[in-house]
Chains A and B, each alone.
Chain A
Amino acid sequence: MSHYEVKAGPEAFLPPAAATMGNVLPDPGEAHIGGKIVPEEEAYEHAARKILGAKVPTIFPGPLVLWKWNDHVAAKATAIRELANEVPMRLIPMADYRPKYPKIDAAVEINPNHPNLTIWHNKIDVCIFIGVHCHQANLALKMIRASTSCYTMAMCAMAGHEDACLSFRDADLEKIQRLTAAIKKLKAEGVEVQANSFTQFQMDRSGFVVEPVN
């Protein structure tokens, strides 16, 4: 049995991949919290509490939900926006996976090759990966665990991520909406949002339409 708990870092110069420590991915209907397999229902509430308790909760949407390559994805993107608005959470995209040289603009993007720069710059304490290809998400999740104190979550459309502190699997539109519902429920029960106020940036091809303001 594995005893490796996947916690927020900073963990080590080069932390291990959780799978090589014996952590296994959840089966359908399950999720994991810290490496422990739990019923999916339990993970919604845990994730919602983490998000509501964070100063800078952030969603990192990846290419799989940023581009409308089918109608289901468009609906998912709308649900992600609703999830972000419910808290509110920042939206910082991982639009592609190229290393950014000479320097990433950490205020408005995250990259799997140096994700810690975005976490540090924005002081992000809780994040969710949605729509990031699994390989790139795992790279980023390990590096975030290595050198930041950010609590990581993954809403994975495939099999989930052991390298996140919490992971759902088979995350479709309904599961994103269930997370939003879990947040609404806790708020209705009196759990207060701890997030710092901010202005969500907006960009078009010419640059900022609305600049980020913390």
Chain B
Amino acid sequence: MNKQVELKGKRVIASKHVKLGQKNRKGQTYTDINDIFYKAEQTPNFLTGSEVIKEAIRRASVGTSVAYPITPQSEAAALIGELYAEDYLDEYFRGESEFAVMGQCAGASFGGHRVFTTTAGPGTLRAMENFPMWAGSRLPIQVCVTCRGINSPLSIQPDTLEMHYLLETGMLVWHAETAQDLYDYILKGFIVAEQPDVHVPIAVCCDGFFVTHTKDTVDLSPEELCLTPYNPYESPVTCMDMEIAPYRMMRDPFVMKSNYINYSTHASWQQEIKAAVERSRKHTIALLDGLIDEQNSDREILIVTSGTAVSQSREAIRLLEEEGIKVGLVKIKTVRPFPYEEIKRATKHAKHIFVPEFNVAGWMAREIKSTIPDNERVYCGPHVAGGMTMPSEVIVEEIKTHLGIKTAQNSR
């Protein structure tokens, strides 16, 4: 289990990039992430989630973005095309499919560019083979996953089942609750993913439609400041060369030569990717101010969840409070790395732990159950799926029913 990394008032290690303080061709100044978020004034804007993605990328010094825009899943990819037209990106083009997009992203990242793309639902699953390839090749690509239903019949509405498929790909997986989170996580995600000791891809996930298509007030950093560029010389693997690992391994994998040593290399390689995800804790804790947020987590009844289920839970907690039922909240910000120790500590006093989720599988509840002692305390639900909303009243009803408190619904 992970060691609790102390925050000690630290920021993530400041950039030493040679371009720090210089201007890019758009007149933006390359600025350390700490200064962008903790020194510069943030200005409120009223934007959709898709527009927030565009504004984050405007400030992210992205080299390449590849799109397979299937609006109305999200307008993000099309909006990034506008940024390309405005000369904020070096390269932008449309892939033939989501699978092709992710392969093309890999090529750009192998070549030393900072790379961003978006996907959702069936697109995520179609592209899936590429995600462990990115991780195994130590490519710090960022994909924004605007979660939606993955199954047939199709749905463009939010459903977080696709996040479950991403958990063991070797990527960092962060889950934004709001458009503000989405903005922050996109910019901070590049910095964490590109740390030389981490250097794996990151999926910044949000609940599609609820976050991408609705408007919210979001504090943006000044448009004149942008992230320092990606530094390929800090990569833990060599620059692109088809004769050298890891690229050579794609056409000549060592596992083809069957002996113990070759299998051992492959196993050690997989361990190293998991280790890289673990190493991201230190940087993530500094930039996100912890892997979880807590609100009255010393209470006997807790809700532990991520994404917009957190927002719905906040209102449910308010409604329960009106009836004299006190409930605490734990918001999970990163699903990979999973905040094992933080959740164990935060749920120490809880007798009942509810895990509302926007998916039919209840994978988050399973993650939590596998983390804490006395896991019969975990109640897997309420669940909605396929793009249903999760009214706060449903959370209230399910908590009261489970606790044996009479409600209009359960006393019928």
User: How far in angstroms is the closest Cβ of chain A from B312?
Assistant: 34
Residue in A closest to B138 when the chains form the complex, CB atoms: A135
For A163, the chain B residues whose CB sits under 8 A away are 275
Q: Mark A120-154, 1 if CB is under 8 A from B, else 0.
A: 00000000000001111011001100100000000
Contact present for B275 and A97 (CB under 8 Å): no
Q: Is the CB of B237 within 8 A of A133?
A: yes
- Assess whether A22 is in contact with B2, with CB atoms less than 8 Å apart: yes
Contact residues in B for A23 (Cβ distance below 8 Å) = 3
Contacts of B264 in A (CB 8 A): 14, 143, 146
Residues in chain B near residue A158, CB distance under 8 A: 196-197, 234, 236
A14-43 interface with B by 8 A CB criterion: 14, 16-20, 22-25, 27-28
Instruction: Please pick, from B1, B197, B199, B244, the residue contacting A25 in the complex, using a CB distance under 8 A.
Output: B197
A105 to B156, CA, bound (A): 58
CB contact list, B1-57 vs A, under 8 A: 1-5, 13
Q: Which residue of chain B has the shortest Cβ distance to A147 in the bound complex?
A: B264
The 0/1 profile, CB within 8 Å of A marked 1, for residues 231-252 of chain B is: 0001111100001111010000
Q: Does A1 contact B (CB under 8 A)?
A: yes
**Option from A18, A28, A114 in Cβ contact (under 8 Å) with B13:** A28
CA distance A134 to B138 in the complex (A): 11
Interface centre among A22, A134, A135, A139 (most CB of B within 10 A): A135
Does A63 sit at the interface, judged by CB under 8 A? yes
* Size of A's binding interface in residues, CB under 8 A: 39
What interface size band does chain B fall in? 35 or more
Q: Find chain B residues with CB under 8 A from A14 CB.
A: 264, 267-268, 271
Cα A146 to Cα B265 in complex, Å, equals 11
Establish whether residues B197 and A135, one from each chain, have CB atoms under 8 Å apart when the complex forms. no
Q: Report how far A160 CA is from B236 CA in the complex, Å.
A: 11
Q: Which of A17, A24, A28, A98 is in CB contact (< 8 Å) with B243?
A: A98
Given contacts A1-B4, A99-B254, A133-B238, contact A19 B248 (CB under 8 A): no
Instruction: Identify which of residues 83-128 in chain A touch chain B, using a CB-to-CB cut-off of 8 Å.
Output: 96-99, 101, 112-114, 116-117
- Check A139–B196 contact: CB distance below 8 A: no
Q: Is the CB of A113 within 8 A of B272?
A: no
Which residues from B are CB-within-8-Å of A19? 274-276, 278-279
Known: A24-B3, A97-B245. A142 touches B237 (CB 8 A): no
With contacts A22-B3, A98-B244 taken as known, whether A113 is within 8 angstroms of B236 at the C-beta atoms is no
Q: A22-B3, A99-B254, A162-B275 are in contact. Are A135 and B282 (CB under 8 A)?
A: no
> Closest chain A residue to B245 by CB distance?
A97
A28 to B10, CA, bound (A): 12
At the interface, yes or no: A2 with Cβ under 8 Å from chain B? yes
Please tell me if the beta carbons of A24 and B262 are within 8 angstroms of each other in the complex. no
Q: A16-B271, A98-B248 are in contact. Are A160 and B237 (CB under 8 A)?
A: no
Q: Which residue of A lies closest to B5 (CB)?
A: A24
Nearest residue (CB) in B for A137 is B236
CA distance A99 to B269 in the complex (A): 13
Query: CA of A114 to CA of B264 in the docked complex: distance in angstroms?
Result: 9
**A159 beta carbon closer than 8 Å to chain B:** yes
User: Given the complex of chains A and B, what is the CA–CA distance between A26 and B268 in angstroms?
Assistant: 22
Given contacts A24-B282, A142-B271, contact A133 B236 (CB under 8 A): yes
Which residues from chain B contact A17 at a C-beta distance below 8 Å?
271-272, 274-275, 278
List 8 contacting pairs A-B, 8 Å CB cutoff, sorted by A.
Answer: A18-B275, A96-B243, A101-B257, A139-B269, A142-B272, A158-B234, A159-B279, A162-B275
Which 10 pairs of residues, A with B, have the shortest CB-CB distance?
Answer: A134-B236, A19-B275, A17-B275, A159-B197, A158-B196, A22-B3, A135-B236, A97-B245, A17-B271, A19-B278
